[in-house]
Amino acid sequence: MASLAASLSWNSSSWLNNRTLTTTTNEGIRIPDKSSAFVILAQKKTKKTRKIILTDDVTDVGKKGQLLDVKAGFYRNFLHPSGKARIVTPVLLKEMKIEEERIEAEKKRVKEEALQLARIFETVGAFKVKRKGGKGKLIFGSVTAQDLVDIIKAQLQRDIDKRIVSLPEIRETGEYIADLKLHPEGSVSRM
């Protein structure tokens, strides 16, 4: 029985080695069929990275809105589950461009408004704050940024934030200069 199995295996393997299938085309040409042959190609390992956009600041990786190439596992295991990044798509790039244009327009509008307010302050000149006084030049209490904001609102009908006003300590009568930080690129000094 063992010799029968050995002869069968030898016969079947020799049959596979000698087997060549052919296909006949319409013109009568015989072409060998290689569909039964196995082809194995060896390839180098590819570096698996993903092109992403950060939707939040990530320490040691980047800032919000930054385009990066990160490893696929880092994106899959950390950035995506925590919602800190998204895969780059043409739609997402278009949305980012629209958002950047909106932000630039807002910055331009704020700067124009600050320049207009600066021109108004330059034409007004000075503001007078009235306080009760004591002996000599001393006044009761001190003049605060909120006092200046209230006077500007009463005279110019403009609301400004008291955090942009910086005043020296005012406890006596006299002329003082207040700094109004209207925009990061410039400020106005008046009072």
Residue 133 has pLDDT above 60, yes or no: yes
SS (H, E, C) the chain: CHHHHHHHHHHHHHHHHHCCEEEECCCCCEEEECCCCCCCCCCCCCCCEEEEEECCCECCCECCCCEEEEEHHHHHHHHHHHCCEEECCHHHHHHHHHHHHHHHHHHHHHHHHHHHHHHHHHHHCCCCCCCCECCCCEECCCCCHHHHHHHHHHHHCCCCCHHHEECCCCCECCCCCEEEEEECCEEEEEC
Average pLDDT, the chain: 77
Domain boundaries, the chain: 49-88, 109-190
C-alpha 176/C-alpha 48 separation (Å) is 65
55-109 pLDDT per residue, tens: 899 999 999 888 999 999 999 999 999 999 999 989 988 988 898 899 999 999 9
What average pLDDT does the segment 130-135 reach? Answer: 81
The CATH number of domain 49-88 is 3.50.50.60 = no
pTM of the predicted model as reported, rounded to 2 decimal places: 0.52
1-48 pLDDT per residue, tens: 455 444 444 444 444 455 454 555 555 555 555 556 666 666 777 778
The CATH number of domain 109-190 is 3.10.430.100 = yes
Of 165 and 107, which is predicted with more confidence?
107
pLDDT at 171: 82
**All residues at 6 or more sequence positions from 179 whose CB lies less than 8 Å from its CB, including other chains:** 165, 166, 167, 187, 188, 189
pLDDT at 164: 83
